[in-house]
Amino acid sequence: MTTTNALFEPYDLSGLHLPNRIAMAPMSRVRSNPEGLATASMATYFAQRATAGLIISDGIQPSLQGQANPLTAGLTNQAQTDSWKQVTAAVHANGGRIFAQLMHGGRIGHADHTGLQPVGPSAIAARGTTVFTSSGPQPAPVPRALSTAEAGKEALVYAEAATRAVEAGFDGVELHGANGYLIGQFLSSSANQRTDRYGGSVTGRIRFAAEAAAAAVDAVGAARVGIRLSPGAGIWDAIDEDVPELYGALLTELATLDLAYVHLTASTEEETLLGFRRTWPGAFLVNPVHPGAARPADRTAAEHWLGLGADVISFGRAFLANPDLVERLRGDLPLAEGDKATFYVGGDTGYLTYPTYQH
């Protein structure tokens, strides 16, 4: 029976002790420098939020080819790896735990900031979509379709970045399989119109995700690998068909890897998500509001999903303006609202300037 204080009870995440069941969801804040290095401000930002049971970082590009947005930090070379050490050290010094989210943008990227044509499962641009570039928003470009051999090699990029993440001091990695980025593009029937082993049937469309996860597990161990998925979300024009069958098959395949967790967004019907809970034998993280919801997740939504069988609840927007979110939720204190104008503009205003609650 879930108690009303379950959100603040400890949880063993594949051997990693979480003092509570509150995770900070991954959110892009584009605060790196032009070389893709993590900064001292980023270290302060995450350290301010270290009372979360688990922090999941911004999306980190695992390769230059995979960089979706300008001014995001990477794990593509030694300098970038070393730059993250100040972040992980600051979080650990404040008693926290942090996973690196590995985010390959696939077709959601642009040559303006990478010098490379984006790649994807098929040469199909995201319809009606603009992407962020060094010179401002531009129409989503047509990606170059990966060959069969290239697709297999691209899955290994996650493993290479996972190795660098562990070297940088992260407690583990989360593969970004949600929100229409590369893994989600392979899952999508609109973005993936391949006829080889990486497309067509459900078995083909889940293959890239399964291979990426297996490679990361081989590199750093299953206890250090999670994956985030957004069934049916349709973000960046990556449309899923047969959501229960597609994601049920993927979770069944991933269950053989004994991953640290699966992290789902509430982007499809509750009953469908409950089916996934029954399919998945391990730790089940849920972001309890639809990605397009007007209001961020709150304690009521969190306790609802804990009652339905989730093990850990992730909060996104609520963490932006509330570095002490755990304490505010515990005390039923008011939550501050974030200033959307400062979400992606760089600098410390609207990043490091949100105070803790003043009684």
Catalytic residue at 181? yes
Spatial distance between the Cα atoms of 185 and 189, rounded to a whole number of angstroms: 8
Q: How many CA atoms lie within 13 A of 210 on its CB side?
A: 20
Catalytic residue among 11, 45, 158, 181: 181
| 53 touches 20 (CB < 8 A) | yes
Q: In 179-203, which positions are buried (b, 16+ CB within 10 angstroms) versus exposed (e)?
A: bbbbbbbbbbbbbbebeeebbeebe
CA distances from 300 to 1, 52, 292 (A): 17, 17, 18
| 265 touches 249 (CB < 8 A) | no
CA angle 235/180/296 to nearest 5° reads 50
Spatial distance between the Cα atoms of 173 and 163, rounded to a whole number of angstroms: 9
Locate tokens 């996650």: which residue?
158
| 356 touches 53 (CB < 8 A) | no
List the catalytic residues: 181
